[in-house]
Amino acid sequence: MADEIRTYHGQPVLKEPIWSWEIPCYFFTGGMAGVSAGLAGLAELRGNEELARRAWLVAFGGIAASPALLTSDLGKPTRFLNMLRMFKVTSPMSVGSWLLSASGATTGLAAANSLTGAFPRAGRVAKPAAGVFGLPLSTYTAALIADTAVPVWHGARRELPFLFGAGAALSAGAAVTAATPVEAAAPARRLALGGAVAEIAISKVMEKRLGELGEPYQQGLPHRLSLLSKLAVAGGGALVALRGAGSRPASVAGGLLMCAGGLGMRWSVFKAGFASAADPKYVVGPQRAAIERGERRGGARSEPKVSAGEPGAGSPATAPPTPLRQHAPVGD
Amino acid sequence: MSRVGFFTDTSVCIGCKACEVACKEWNQIPMSMHGFSGKSYDNTLDLGANTWRHVAFIEQKLPLDARADGASLVDVAQASTAASNGHGMLDTYQEGDGLRWLMASDVCKHCTDAACLEVCPTGALFRTEFGTVVVQEDVCNGCGYCVPACPFGVLDQREDDGRVWKCTLCYDRLKDDKEPACAQACPTNSIQFGELDVLHERAEHRLAALREAGQSDAQLYLADSDDGIHGAGAFFLLLDEPEVYGLPPDPVDTRHHLGEIWAAAGTAAVALGAGLLAAAFGGRRG
């Protein structure tokens, strides 16, 4: 970035998001629910009924909490149904609202069938459907925050979906590991550990590729959250990997630690976005640098398309008054 | 109906804030008190839910041979004196004592490619028959997605209300063949309203005239259709770089990268599925 970045009295160029604590928590619950549904479905295929039941329970818990969190964050919560007025592919929030509705319905049916035996025929369709919907449910939230002007989110638009996907795998695997007797929990442990390694690796790749834009992750609250969450994931992962197969207490402790780490990573990304929107240098610096390198033309033009011509041409003092336009009155 | 909008010629803005007042009055906008900001005469600070016209004030001290933005007059004089071995005179070219005022009335740009409109999940934000972008306040549920999507930081959520509000380009006045309140109130015709084609032509002549007169930093902002938002319904004549006024030098509609964004999300979902399969089937025991 250029050294002397010019700003307007140091004021921000963008607005920080208005979202509050419910949103990073939803990133966590949605991802956990989505991948747990897939884990449950696959466990049933392998005949692991114990694991499947626990995984459907976790999936149901996550998918029940999710719309409550989202609705609570709305400025007008009673208008939550307006989210389904249309299906708009240019809006990840619109697509996600429909995904969440589909996931909610199918996961609810599947969990009900698994836990109570109700809806046997519907359950046979709902279970694989919930598993399939759960995958985009876990990654669309990354698309949502990337599809904004926030520099640290938009700048990481290629990495964030993989980070959130890994986080979802880690969270689901860890939660189900904690909830399941150790002899049935091997797939959940593998999922948690695979997700953990992937999340830590992708997080490092993302920060490296962001370069100077990634500065919010190197300082302040986003940095502390990122560090703590990596420690929790690594620590919990070690517990699960080394002791999880033999010890339920270790599985519970390790699983919960890993979940805390997964949640912490979402919060770190969330807070980094706010920091990146609040400081004008993250907007002006890269944009001005790209213009100076000739890569972008920018929004301004210094060369007029006409020659000067008449003195006073274009002067506001000589601009004709706006003519009244004649058009058919509305409702005619 | 041809597209209408604003051409704001900041070279004749006198900083009277009649536009801010007229806008507040006509649209019955609540107070937005910040107190005295200490940032020149600007006490509204930026556009937001309760400020739809915002006048910016920039004080620049520009001696002839130095781009001393923000440097005190004393520093520049000392530098000039040192450079000429004690015989220096502070050469300036602006009106007054080497001080240049930049004043500009900022507003929602009513972008051709409007990120706010594109990310709105409820359809509250829509494009009117005049080519402007308006929020339907009976639909908006305050999800706030438009707020970080706008590359100019225009939209915001109104406290105690929960919905997002912004400039409507006086949609109600347009339907009655009137011009927007701010354009009507502006005493110097800095804010000009009309059909965009007409305004563009006028702006080119004005830019040419200013550059001919020696204003080498004069530039049109958002007047062309090949920038990151494909032009706007409100474009400006500025007397310095956009960032000096708090405007992004290269605003981009995030939808221009939507293909990449969805591709990454889709690929990540598939990768997640592969990982799930590996975890579920990858061991000796199920």
pLDDT at A185 over 90: yes
Q: A interface mutation test: which of B128, B261, B277 has the most A CBs within 10 A?
A: B261
Confidence of residue B1 (pLDDT cuts 50, 70, 90): confident
Q: Can you give the pLDDT at residue A293?
A: 96
Distance in Å from the first CA to the final CA of chain B: 66
What would the mean pLDDT of A130-156 be, rounded to a whole number?
98
Whole-number CA gyration radius for chain B: 24
pLDDT in tens, B149-203: 999 999 999 999 999 999 999 999 999 999 999 999 999 999 999 999 999 999 9
**Cβ separation of A164 and B222 shorter than 8 Å?**
no
Backbone angles phi, psi at B260, to 5 degrees: -55, -45
* CA pair distance A93, B140, nearest whole angstrom: 14
Tokens of A238: 């070690």
- Chain-centroid distance of CA B283 in Å reads 57
Q: A interface mutation test: which of B43, B154, B212, B272 has the most A CBs within 10 A?
A: B272
Distance in Å from the first CA to the final CA of chain A: 57
The pTM (predicted TM-score) of the whole model is 0.92
Given a contact cutoff of 8 angstroms between Cβ atoms, the answer to whether A16 and A156 are in contact is: no
Q: Which chain A residues are closer than 8 Å to B262 by Cβ?
A: 89, 143
* CA pair distance B82, B140, nearest whole angstrom: 61
Answer positive or negative: Cα dihedral of A312, A317, A318, A322.
positive
Name the 3-class secondary structure at B236.
strand
The answer for A 52-71 residues in CB contact with B (under 8 A) is none
* CA pair distance A2, A280, nearest whole angstrom: 13
Closest-CA distance, B254 to chain A, in angstroms, reads 6
**Cβ separation of B163 and A75 shorter than 8 Å?**
yes
Q: B interface mutation test: which of A5, A7, A15, A180 has the most B CBs within 10 A?
A: A15
Average pLDDT in chain B: 90
How would CATH label the architecture of B4-28+45-54+104-252? 2-Layer Sandwich (3.30)
Give strand ranges (E) for B117-171.
125-127, 133-135, 156-157, 164-165
Q: How many CB atoms lie within 10 A of CB A7?
A: 18
Q: How many CB atoms lie within 10 A of CB B35?
A: 6
- By the CB < 8 Å criterion, does A218 face chain B? no
**Cβ separation of B39 and A9 shorter than 8 Å?**
yes
In this structure, the strands spanning B99-107 and A300-301 are unpaired
**Cβ separation of B124 and A82 shorter than 8 Å?**
yes
Q: Determine whether A323 is exposed, middle or buried from the number of CB atoms within 10 Å of its CB (0-12, 13-18, 19+).
A: exposed
**Cβ separation of A135 and B161 shorter than 8 Å?**
no
Closest-CA distance, B154 to chain A, in angstroms, reads 7
Of the candidates B39, B41, B18, B20, the residue with the CA atom closest to the CA atom of residue B31 = B20
Give strand ranges (E) for B118-203.
125-127, 133-135, 156-157, 164-165, 191-195
Domains annotated on chain A, with CATH:
22-286 (1.20.1630.10)
* CA pair distance A319, A310, nearest whole angstrom: 13
Of the candidates A132, A144, A167, the residue with the CA atom closest to the CA atom of residue A266 = A167
The answer for A 83-142 residues in CB contact with B (under 8 A) is 83, 85-86, 88-94, 97, 135-136, 138-140, 142
Confidence of residue A4 (pLDDT cuts 50, 70, 90): confident
Of the candidates A200, A117, A148, the residue with the CA atom closest to the CA atom of residue B254 = A148
Answer positive or negative: Cα dihedral of B254, B259, B263, B266.
positive
Q: Which among B120, B142, B150 has CB closest to A149?
A: B150
**Cβ separation of B202 and A191 shorter than 8 Å?**
no
- By the CB < 8 Å criterion, does A197 face chain B? no
Helix and strand numbers, DSSP H then E, in chain B: 8, 10
Of the candidates A98, A88, A141, A67, the residue with the CA atom closest to the CA atom of residue B121 = A88
pLDDT in tens, B219-278: 999 999 999 999 999 999 999 999 999 999 999 999 999 999 999 999 999 999 999 999
Largest CA distance in chain B: 90
pLDDT in tens, B77-104: 666 666 656 554 444 444 445 678 899 9
Q: Beta partners for B57? A: B103
- By the CB < 8 Å criterion, does A311 face chain B? yes
* CA pair distance A21, A263, nearest whole angstrom: 11
- By the CB < 8 Å criterion, does A212 face chain B? no
The interface predicted TM-score (ipTM) is: 0.94
- By the CB < 8 Å criterion, does A328 face chain B? no
Q: Which among B115, B118, B221 has CB closest to A299?
A: B221
Q: B interface mutation test: which of A23, A36, A42, A147 has the most B CBs within 10 A?
A: A147
What would the mean pLDDT of B136-145 be, rounded to a whole number?
98
C-alpha distances in angstroms, B28 versus B22, B126, B170, B172, B282? 10, 22, 12, 13, 64
Nearest C-alpha in A relative to B250: A298
Within 8 A by CB and 6+ apart from B83, the residues are: none
Q: Determine whether B160 is exposed, middle or buried from the number of CB atoms within 10 Å of its CB (0-12, 13-18, 19+).
A: exposed
Nearest C-alpha in A relative to B260: A158
Given a contact cutoff of 8 angstroms between Cβ atoms, the answer to whether A284 and A231 are in contact is: no
Element (H, E) at B55: strand B53-61
pLDDT in tens, A267-280: 999 999 999 999 99
* CA pair distance B238, B248, nearest whole angstrom: 13
Given a contact cutoff of 8 angstroms between Cβ atoms, the answer to whether B223 and B231 are in contact is: yes
